[in-house]
Amino acid sequence: MFDPIIAATRFGTGLSPVIEPPWDAESMLGKLGGPDQAAGLLPIAGFDATVPTLVFIAEVQKAAREARGTDQEDAAKEAVRQKNREVADVIRHNTLSTLARCVTAQDGLRERLTLFWADHFTVIARSLNHRHLVTPYIADAIRPHVAGRFADMVKAVVMHPMMLLYLEQTRSLGPTSVQGIKSGRGLNENLARELLELHLIGVGGGYDQTDVTQMAELLTGLSFHPSQGVTYKPQQAEPGAEVVMGRRYSADSELATITSALEDLAIRPETATHICRKLAVHFVSDTPDPDLVASMSRAFMDSGGDLLAVTGAMLQHPAAWVQTRAKVRQPFTYVAAGLRALGVRADRIMPLDAKQFRRHVTDPLRLMGQPVEQPVGPDGWPEDPAAWITPQGLAGRISWAVASPADFVDTLPDPRRFVQTAVGSTAPADLIFAAEAAESLSDGVALVLTSPAFQRI
């Protein structure tokens, strides 16, 4: 049942000439449940520790507005430009750190799960001034919980500034709250709707519009301000109790009421089925074995939403190890797997300057259809292989495979060996033949990296 090549590719970030693939499911789970070594070696600061802060950015922009037409205007404009450079530097550092973790991690499963859950709980920066805070959100709310309780991840996500800003919870007022009556404004249902539709219950899970509205009312009062942090404002909260999916929640306990509702919703059977099917679709097949999903759902419910137990149920099910190559590597994991197959070290990734970053990372990913941290909407990136294997997407992969590998290693590998390193012992005969017949090292490496055997997992 267990296959080290499938373990490294389907459930990890790829094969490597310098990192041994997993030897059994238990070792994979042991690493996942242990210390986060990659984060220690390649740290990414959380929201509160990331600079420039939103408060500083607001001050710089205010100063620039007030300086218009004065002798301070040029200095104020330069301060704005410097702020923009600092934002770009944070984005580059964090993206390269995320990439380097995938390329060099001993625990590829943790990296894949982090990417999965960050996509499941997608946030998109609504302002260019917020772009550098997406990865800190992942560092705060996602990564610490990939082997923990799902409910804890849900609460961390909902209480995070970036989610509140992205889904405009800060604009939601109870219609009959003090502030709602005064301003004439009312509910913003974005967060409530995405929680029920995407994050928890799922479409067809039994909720209706009344549940969405009641959930939105329950969430009123939850807000964020750059100088105050995440707060609960009673004057914005809808008075009275709400009923969400048949359960009544008192309005008396403020934040405790919200966290209680999130706890309840996070461990419902409908949530277990939705979450476990989505995991199986992402890692195994777009049409996963129903028994695989059922086994994962049982583990979810029996453990109270313990994600390590759920991942264990997936890895221990025979359907997870069927050799199908049904999934296609998404662009980011494609680039990571390519660099990993080349044995690239973190110290060849992290020093990339702005020009190199654009050449090797952001421009290729955009061409492949996955611009960094910019999915189209709150449902994240598509799972359908057809969304990625497009003429433009393939052109982007080919261009990257031809142009980028030589800039990350001192000497390109012999394609005859590289096909085994990158694809493994299951490499098809026609790919082996083509690698042997390649006219140059770069052609051979590119041929392997753009082959269906490498791109499909």
CB pairs under 8 A, 24+ apart, for 299-305? 300/150, 300/267, 300/272, 300/275, 300/276, 301/267, 301/269, 301/272, 304/149, 304/151, 304/267, 305/149, 305/150, 305/151, 305/266, 305/267, 305/271, 305/272
Q: How far apart are CA 4 and CA 20, in angstroms?
A: 9
pLDDT at 47 over 90: yes
The whole-number pLDDT of residue 252 equals 75
pLDDT at 62 over 80: yes
The whole-number pLDDT of residue 279 equals 98
Count of Cβ atoms closer than 10 Å to residue 354 Cβ: 12
The whole-number pLDDT of residue 324 equals 83
Please give the average per-residue pLDDT across 375-380, as a whole number: 96
Backbone angles phi, psi at 328, to 5 degrees: -110, 135
The whole-number pLDDT of residue 176 equals 96
Q: How far apart are CA 129 and CA 120, in angstroms?
A: 23
* Tens digit of each residue's pLDDT (9 = 90 or more) over 156-165: 999 999 999 9
What residues does 256 pair with on adjacent strands? none
* Tens digit of each residue's pLDDT (9 = 90 or more) over 404-445: 999 999 999 999 999 999 999 989 999 999 999 999 999 999
> Which SS3 state, helix, strand or coil, does residue 123 take?
coil
Decide: 198 and 83 in contact? Cβ < 8 Å: no
The whole-number pLDDT of residue 325 equals 86
Decide: 454 and 421 in contact? Cβ < 8 Å: no
Of all residues in the chain, the percent with pLDDT exceeding 90 is: 98
The whole-number pLDDT of residue 293 equals 98
Please give the average per-residue pLDDT across 347-361, as a whole number: 98
If you average pLDDT over every residue of the chain, what do you get? Answer: 97
* Tens digit of each residue's pLDDT (9 = 90 or more) over 222-231: 999 999 999 9
* Tens digit of each residue's pLDDT (9 = 90 or more) over 295-338: 999 999 999 999 999 999 999 999 999 988 889 999 999 999 99
Q: Which pair of structure tokens corresponds to residue 66? A: 């007030």
pLDDT at 253 over 80: no
* Tens digit of each residue's pLDDT (9 = 90 or more) over 207-245: 999 999 999 999 999 999 999 999 999 999 999 999 999
* Tens digit of each residue's pLDDT (9 = 90 or more) over 103-140: 999 999 999 999 999 999 999 999 999 999 999 999 99
The whole-number pLDDT of residue 323 equals 86
pLDDT at 251 over 90: no
The whole-number pLDDT of residue 110 equals 98
Q: How many CA atoms lie within 13 A of 277 on its CB side?
A: 16
The whole-number pLDDT of residue 417 equals 96
pLDDT at 386 over 80: yes
pTM for this prediction: 0.97
What's the gap between Cα 204 and its chain centre?
24
pLDDT at 35 over 90: yes
Please give the average per-residue pLDDT across 65-92, as a whole number: 98
Q: Cis before residue 52, ω within 30 degrees of 0?
A: yes
The whole-number pLDDT of residue 177 equals 96
- Residue 254 pLDDT level (bands cut at 50, 70, 90): confident
